[in-house]
């Protein structure tokens, strides 16, 4: 049995998955920068690339616009133009800044403590949620402020993506959400609402996740066509609502299991990369 299968077979896994999704949703809703910068698959992986390049030794090329464009294109994440736009926004928000370099021809960038803390906040959420199932949750939380551990942890999280792994390969239904701006957050909200049987309308979803109503409506329309959500008629004032159907519920739980297991593996790899205590 794989680690993921063993996790999903636990009697308490539904509670673990629900808590993971709930905590992630709260983290995003409470942080505007997190919502705007890390709310689809491409941006999440791009942010890991930025951190990984940033953590390279001083004599390495490090983070530059050109290198990030090359890496993102090679991984099929997004266009060079989108990379430039995301970096420009990050600079304006004080998340990335210029840095001196031995090679004056190279325009090196560094991520700021603010950006690192945004990521650490998200990782703390997942590490905390995984504690009932994995000792690596507590271990990771204890080491997350160690720069050496953090660099190795980021590299370990990024390794599957560099090898060509994509969430859509293992959880195909998530492709309707993961590659859309705010799509994962919409899916998380639908998952949580299904536990109470409360249909969600387009307007509050758009407002909560700072995307347009037409964008959310399009996500939900395509998800409904695929059999992932059910449209529920409601009074004209609030408009129709939507409920997650079993295939989407299973997809979100599969996503949660993948996220928790990958975090556990990343903690182990990062610990192994640390020098032995003196």
Q: What is the pLDDT of residues 113-167, one digit of tens each?
A: 999 998 898 899 999 999 999 999 999 999 999 999 999 999 999 999 999 888 8
State the pLDDT at residue 236. Answer: 46
Instruction: Write out the H or E segment, with its range, that includes residue 186.
Output: helix 183-194
Number of domains in the chain: 1
Domain with residue 201: its CATH number is 1.10.10.10
Within-domain flag for 39: no
DSSP, collapsed to helix, strand or coil, labels residue 109 as strand
Within-domain flag for 231: yes
Within-domain flag for 156: no
User: What's the CA gap between 190 and 34, in Å, rounded?
Assistant: 20
Exposure string for 193-232, b = 16+ CB within 10 A, e = fewer: bbeeeebbbbeebbebbebeeebbbebbeebbeeebbeee
State the pLDDT at residue 30. Answer: 62
Containing domain of residue 186, as a range? 172-249
Within-domain flag for 233: yes
219 strand-pairing partners: none
Q: What are phi and psi of 96, to 5 degrees?
A: -140, 145
Q: What is the pLDDT of residues 216-249, one digit of tens each?
A: 999 999 999 999 999 988 654 567 899 999 999 9
């Amino acid at each position: 049995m794989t680690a993921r299968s063993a996790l999903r077979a636990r009697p308490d896994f539904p509670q673990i998955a629900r808590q993971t999704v709930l905590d992630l949703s709260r983290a995003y809703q409470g942080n505007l920068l997190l919502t705007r910068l890390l709310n689809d698959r491409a941006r999440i992986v791009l942010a890991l690339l930025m951190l990984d390049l940033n953590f390279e030794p001083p004599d390495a090329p490090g983070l530059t616009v050109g290198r990030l464009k090359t890496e993102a294109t090679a991984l099929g994440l997004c266009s060079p133009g989108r990379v430039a736009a995301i970096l420009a926004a990050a600079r304006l928000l004080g998340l990335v800044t210029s840095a001196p370099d031995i090679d004056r021809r190279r325009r090196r960038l560094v991520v700021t403590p603010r950006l690192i803390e945004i990521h650490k906040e998200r990782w703390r959420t997942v590490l905390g949620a995984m504690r009932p199932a994995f000792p690596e949750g507590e271990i990771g939380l204890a080491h997350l402020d160690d720069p050496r551990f953090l660099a190795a942890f980021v590299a370990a999280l990024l390794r599957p993506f560099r090898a060509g792994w994509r969430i859509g390969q293992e959880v195909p239904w998530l492709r309707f959400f993961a590659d859309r701006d705010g799509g994962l957050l919409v899916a998380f909200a639908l998952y949580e609402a299904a536990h109470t049987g409360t249909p969600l309308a387009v307007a509050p979803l758009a407002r909560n996740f700072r995307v347009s109503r037409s964008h959310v409506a399009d996500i939900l329309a395509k998800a409904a066509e695929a059999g992932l959500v059910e449209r529920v008629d409601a009074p004209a004032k609030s408009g129709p609502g939507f409920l997650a159907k079993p295939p989407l519920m299973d997809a979100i739980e599969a996503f949660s299991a993948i996220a928790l297991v990958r975090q556990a593996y990343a903690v182990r790899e990062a610990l192994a990369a640390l020098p032995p205590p003196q």
